[in-house]
Chain A
Amino acid sequence: MTDIFSGRRVLIVEDESLVAMLLETILVDLGCDVVGPESNIEDGLNAASGTSRLDAALLDVNVAGQEIFPVAEALKARGVPFVFSTGYGEAGLPEHWRGNPTVQKPFTEGAIRDALMTALNMQRA
């Protein structure tokens, strides 16, 4: 079942290094290759709109006081599925982005795995 993650290239955008390290640890344990982590919107956009292969992304909604949505738009345009991570949960998202897989901080390894799986399956469907 976790084969779905093996070798998947997953981008992380998260401004807090300790939280980024946690996400990185969780993703590596799942078998993913981590891209980033990027700590700001500008670097996140560069990574999201580059040409290198991306299978999924984990996006902190509030990155150093800025909203992540330009990065989300860039990923959507490329057809890369993503999971939002936010302290507010899905209710904190603008109407436009509700329904997208979301994990609420603080998160468990299981929550990250389930949300990523949903995102990848949604893309396949």
Chain B
Amino acid sequence: MKTLAETIDLVAAFDASPNPYMLLDRDLRFAGMNQAYLDVTQRTREELIGVHVMDVFGAAEDGPDEGASQRLEGSFRRVLETGESDHLALLHYPIRTIGDHGEAVFDDRYWSCTHTPIKNEKGEVTHILQHTSDVSELVRARPTQDGPRSALDEMLGGGVFRRAMEVEADNQRLETERRQLSDVLLNAPGFVAVLSGPDHVIQFCNEACYRLVNHRDILGSSVQDALPELGKQGHLDFLNDVYETGEPVMGRQRAFTLQHSPDGPADVRYIDFAYQPIRDENAQVIGVFVQGHDVTDVVLAAERQKLMIDELNHRVKNTLATVQSIAMQTARTHEDPRSFAEAFEARLMALSHTHDLLTKSHWEGADLRSVLEHETKAHGIGRLTLNGPLIGLSPARALSLGMVFHELATNAAKYGALAHGDGRVTVDWCVVNHQSPQLKIVWTEVAGAPVREPERRGFGTRLIERNVRHDLRGTVEMSYTGHGLRAEFTLPLETEA
């Protein structure tokens, strides 16, 4: 079968057509036009070829207003963007003509235009073909205030004109709505994308969506080509499911690993998303509407909160177990309920005092001198002398040393130097061996009256020994002079906070 081009000369046919035609290139410059177009616009071919259409027919004083000019240019742009024909049913567009005395005047005209894309073999739009009909005569034939001239006039003029006006008004309203909707989606806080066809070609992508994919150029590509990492994470399967079954797929707080560039580093973002089918007028699925929110901050905050609650739970349960241990061990050495209650309460208060100190520093630690002061102040400030430099203790070590000094002070008050009116206690500490720094603490009791070494090692003594060895990883030597107890502690100095 012969093609049309082989049977007739298309150029000659184009030029001979009584309908005005003109051709624009992608830059909206005149590439060609027929004689009818030159006649209706009263221009010459030389004036127009290669000139930008809006330079010739742009807005002008006494000529087309800005709105009309923008609608005309907008129609050209839509053809370039969509690759589809665009219509302006009625355009009020005066054009410049030559007046009776050779002067330039604007002639009030109404046009109906169709803009058709001309594509190359790759399907790319290379030109726009404009077909214009000058409908000014129809417009001018509309009824005047003098009343309708005839039924034919009414039919040809008024009726057709009114319908054209209505169609064009509808078009403008739809275009405004489309633009508003598009603006809303573009600037929406959540991400939005529109995919078309079985390969999920990205047709629309808003600002939030571009941010999410690190501003990669994804428009016009298939999801597999543009974002290959998503296929590996199962999202291509989700999109295929939506496209094939028409059922939406939703996800909450799902981890997405997104790359900055095809081979670049990847980020993990947590996302709530919905993939919903887009259907045509026959209810066939033709694409997928993608929307969602980046909820990474929410997920990370929840993780931090869970960590904090877990840590709190750990500390509370450990503290309860510690209190339980104090109760049980104290009970073993106190048969009388009243003396049990006193000893238990005193130990509980010692633990609590160190907690108070740590709370003041937001559990960052406490100073050795403060711990000593807290645990011994019940026995009279004047009777204890504390000498040593500033030494920071971690919360765990502060709690351990707090218990240790509580036991020492309690023992001194019961059996040692503080049991009698004129006894004293001196606590000296310093850092020794600077290669491998150690904290040396010496507790010395000087009693007014002679003191005997206790016969039985009580819970207090065991607690001190165990604490020093187990929690503080140090050593303690306890000896009795005739004046009372002397306890010498050697503890590794912490390097960590």
A residues bordering B, Cβ < 8 Å? Answer: 15-22, 25, 37, 39, 62, 64, 86-88, 92, 104-107
Interface contact A87-B322, CB-CB below 8 Å: no
Closest 4 CB pairs of A and B: A87-B317, A22-B325, A17-B470, A18-B325
Report whether A18 and B326 are in contact in the complex, using a CB–CB cutoff of 8 Å.
yes
Minimum CB–CB distance from A113 to chain B (whole Å) comes to 15
Can you name 7 A-B residue pairings with CB atoms under 8 Å? A18-B321, A18-B403, A20-B466, A21-B462, A25-B332, A88-B314, A88-B317
Check B314 against A20 for contact (C-beta < 8 Å): no
Indicate the member of A17, A64, A92, A105 with the most B CB atoms within 10 Å.
A17
For B298, list chain A residues within 8 Å (CB).
Answer: none
In the bound complex, residues from chain A placing their C-beta under 8 Å from that of B324 are: 22, 106-107
A10 and B312 CA atoms in complex are apart in Å by 29
Please report the number of residue pairs spanning A and B whose Cβ atoms sit closer than 8 angstroms: 70
Contact call B329/A16, Cβ cutoff below 8 A: no
Cβ-neighbour of A87 out of B314, B403, B471 (below 8 A): B314
Are B321 and A106 closer than 8 Å at their CB atoms? yes
B321 touches A21 (CB 8 A): no
Chain B contacts with A in 292-326, Cβ cutoff 8 A? 310, 313-314, 316-318, 320-326
- CB pair A105–B328 under 8 Å, yes or no, is no
Contacts A22-B325, A105-B320, A106-B324: A17 and B467 contacting too (C-beta < 8 A)?
Answer: yes
Residues facing A in B409-463 (CB within 8 A) are 462-463
Contacts of B329 in A (CB 8 A): 18, 21-22, 25
C-alpha gap A25/B326 in the complex (Å): 12
B interface residues (Cβ-Cβ under 8 A, vs A): 310, 313-314, 316-318, 320-326, 328-329, 332, 396, 400, 403, 462-463, 466-467, 469-471, 473
Distance of A39 Cα from B467 Cα, bound (Å): 10
In the complex, chain B residues whose CB is within 8 Å of the CB of A20? 466, 470
- Chain A residues, CB < 8 A from B466: 17-18, 20-21
In the assembled complex, the CB of B71 is this many whole angstroms from the nearest CB of chain A, namely 65
Beyond known contacts A18-B403, A19-B322, A39-B471: 18 more, CB 8 A cutoff: A16-B321, A16-B322, A17-B400, A17-B467, A18-B466, A18-B467, A19-B318, A20-B466, A21-B325, A22-B329, A25-B329, A39-B470, A87-B313, A87-B317, A88-B314, A106-B317, A106-B320, A107-B321
Distance between Cα atoms of A18 and B348 in the complex (Å): 13
Q: Which of B313, B321, B396, B400 contacts A22 (CB 8 A)?
A: B321
Q: Which residues of B contact A18 (CB under 8 A)?
A: 321-322, 325-326, 329, 403, 463, 466-467
Query: What's the minimum C-beta distance from A25 to chain B, rounded to whole angstroms?
Result: 7
Within the complex, what minimum Cβ distance (angstroms) separates A69 from chain B?
A: 16
A16 touches B328 (CB 8 A): no
Contact of A16 among B313, B469, B471, B473 (CB under 8 A): B471
Smallest Cβ-Cβ distance to A85: which chain B residue = B321
A27 to chain B, nearest CB (A): 13
In contact, A25 and B470 (Cβ under 8 angstroms): no
Structural contact, A37 and B470, CB atoms closer than 8 A = yes
Bound: A59/B228 CA distance, A: 47
Residue pair B321, A105 in contact (C-beta under 8 Å): yes
Q: Which residue, of B316, B317, B466, B469, has the highest number of chain A Cβ atoms within 10 A?
A: B317
- Chain A residues contacting B403 (CB-CB under 8 Å) are 18
- A105 x B317 contact (CB < 8 A): yes
- Chain A residue at minimum C-beta to C-beta distance from B322: A18
Q: How far is the CB of A63 from chain B (nearest CB, A)?
A: 11
B406 to chain A, nearest CB (A): 12
B168 to chain A, nearest CB (A): 67
Among B313, B314, B470, residue most surrounded by chain A Cβ atoms (within 10 Å): B470
**Beta-carbon contact of A16 and B318 below 8 Å:** yes
Residues of B within 8 A of A17 (CB): 400, 463, 466-467, 469-471
Partner of B316, one of A15, A39, A87, A104: A87
| Residue numbers in B under 8 Å from A25 (CB-CB) | 328-329, 332
- Distance A50 CA – B462 CA, assembled complex (angstroms): 27
List, in ascending order, chain B residues with CB within 8 A of A39's CB: 470-471, 473
With A21-B329, A22-B325, A64-B396 as contacts: A105 and B318 at CB distance below 8 Å = yes
Residue of A nearest to B400 (CB): A17
- What separation, in Å, do the CA atoms of A1 and B470 have in the docked complex? 33
The residues of B that contact A87 with a CB separation of less than 8 Å are: 313-314, 316-318, 321
Q: How far is the CA of A17 from the CA of B314 in the complex (A)?
A: 16
Instruction: State which of A22, A37, A64, A104 has its C-beta within 8 Å of the C-beta of B317.
Output: A104
User: A86 CA to B326 CA in the complex, in Å?
Assistant: 18
> How far is it, in angstroms, between the C-alpha of A17 and the C-alpha of B321 when the chains are bound?
11
Shortest B398–chain A CB gap in Å is 14
Q: Which residue of A lies closest to B403 (CB)?
A: A18
Q: How far is the CA of A86 from the CA of B324 in the complex (A)?
A: 15
CB distance from B307 to the nearest CB of A (A): 12
Return chain A residues, CB-CB under 8 Å to B400: 17
Which interface residue of A62, A92, A106 has the most chain B CB atoms within 10 A? A106
Query: In the complex, which residues of chain A have a beta carbon less than 8 angstroms from the beta carbon of B469?
Result: 17
User: Residues of B contacting A106 with CB < 8 Å?
Assistant: 317, 320-321, 323-324
State the Cβ distance, A96 to closest chain B Cβ, in Å. Answer: 18
Q: How far, in angstroms, from A21 to B400 measured CA to CA in the complex? A: 14
Q: B residues within 8 A CB of A62? A: 314
A88 B321 Cβ-Cβ under 8 A: no
- Selected from B317, B325, B328, B471, the residue in CB contact (under 8 A) with A15 is B471
**Which chain A positions have C-beta within 8 A of B321?**
16, 18-19, 22, 87, 105-107
Give B461 Cβ to nearest chain A Cβ, in Å.
12
B323: chain A residues within 8 A (beta carbon): 106
